[in-house]
Structure 1
């Protein structure tokens, strides 16, 4: 057999060789290969701590202790968020309670109510250099603190909650956060704080939060505190007394009162005695829209006593009140209804002055010395009379001084004259106001 094998190997042209030992791998030569460094995005250096406080030995038994710690934390408008992130969860509650009890969270006050003052909707952010005494920074810290409370902390922070609820707009976020922090089983506290916020002008925030009240406290919110949103949650069918009270109460918003009238009518499809009595009383409401709505409802059911007509008066205030109700009444008229304005003017008609404003005007066309304005005067006969710019006029009638009323866009001047011992409207000036300067 060995011979056969040798013969086979010879036939293949080869001879047996000893096995080759394993050779070591030869590394490729890369003389110009750069040295690799750590990727800064994957291997970031540790961020240095901003706080050097030994929390294990830091006392927090009292507000004074906690406030001393806040002084060490020393948050600023630049670093407050990072510093709060380093506070251990175990010490957050006492720090939060002490901060809230310290108050001073009113970052901005409402702008003055005057012409050309832009509405403010947002609270400004704290300046980078703002410190712990800055109210704009403190409101940010308060938002953090509210999220660290437990339900049983309410007695400790109730006064702080009252103070925050009383902050007027443009603040809203912090007030809403306080309402959200009230435990569900504390409807009386919730109602108290909602009422405080309502009186402070936080109408939208309160209306959004009032739905968490239970039914008895909703009724109190509507009837005792005149919160519109509570009336929205209640029904005219199930809470008739609350709706009747809203119709006759001048403390309610006009929109809520007029809606209450229609809701009550819809329940019965008619005008029951108690609803009719409430609407008759509303016809004398201070708000012209409420009075006009009541007058139209009664007129549609045959009672025309409250339809606007010129009063036989000699005082401008009484005449302006009648014109105010007339404007709201005609705003609600259908297109096919006849204007009641002719009854307020002399037999010959109304002198109407229209002054338009053109910011690009260059020629003084009417000789008044102002190239931006153009004046037209016309005598409108009684059969062609309607109140001009009715929607804007209704808005303007809410801001009257004497016989001049202003909206953001126009000024309306009413010229009154004694005729036959009573005032009539003989002249109406409609003046476009120039745009407010950019702020």
Structure 2
């Protein structure tokens, strides 16, 4: 039933993406403007690390005993993953009733799928008590459907890089300007360390809007300890914390960004929840983060069963050059095993930009066409891209299962296999590997 409603909603606008706020504001008005009745909002935009930062924030708040609404996209396996209400994913019947209510209020008017589902999330959040609401932008910021909350408690900008150029512009400055659109006059913005050109755009926007910036490298810092822990140092605090539970050396910076948001909120002279965290809550939260499909080790399921003992299977949904660079940097620590890969990506992405830092690291790579995705790059073209960037054994496979089986039969073991290139591919793998 939910799938039938979602299919109807995708037909309400001829374009999947059409950046504007007019349609979502009209729909929200018909619903009584639930975006004005949310608990304190943390609004997160950026190119990479958004999901991990949001997941870490949620874990930190929940470890402190606070209820958090969370809106993220896209989902990996089930649409329900996008709307977490006071810490819980909605049951199918609850989600169905919510979507049908919003669909009725829309009365058949043109609206994109993301706009109507964002309105549904706001309606659910406005009706259920919580202490905080964390919103992740879908694409960009300035004209993103989530950017209708006039006075968030805080905005957060993760690293900005080239992605979605067909919608946001072909230069890093244009993309940064779109992301900076979530800044609100007088509301602090926590900012990850940025590309120099992007940083100049953000600083200019903050000056124009009177936005206090809380910047990595100037106002907060993070370093790892020899035993893998974290030392976070901010304006007013220094925290010694355990290592992030999420894999990847880049997760230290995502964790630091979430901690900086907590520090900045705690400085605001408001009633709880931002008046301080209980002892031990930060460490507990860092140990509790869950964010599937982002450098995730798969330890069971049909795909894992294809591998010999001592082999490892990993999954990552990063899909742009910046994500690939971070992944390649982490893979430098994977020298104890032969490294193989399964790669699938959308044709709309910068395929060569993704392959450039990563392809040569694979001993062998098998490429796939992402099942059910009309915009997928054909496996043959993906293999050709990997070969252009000096992967010496890149060949197409008919499926992920065939690719993993082929690598298991041909790679010198023990080996580590990484499935990568797309969140859509990651979602299909998680769905099929249960």
TM-score scaled to structure 1, two decimals? 0.24
**Greater gyration radius:** 1
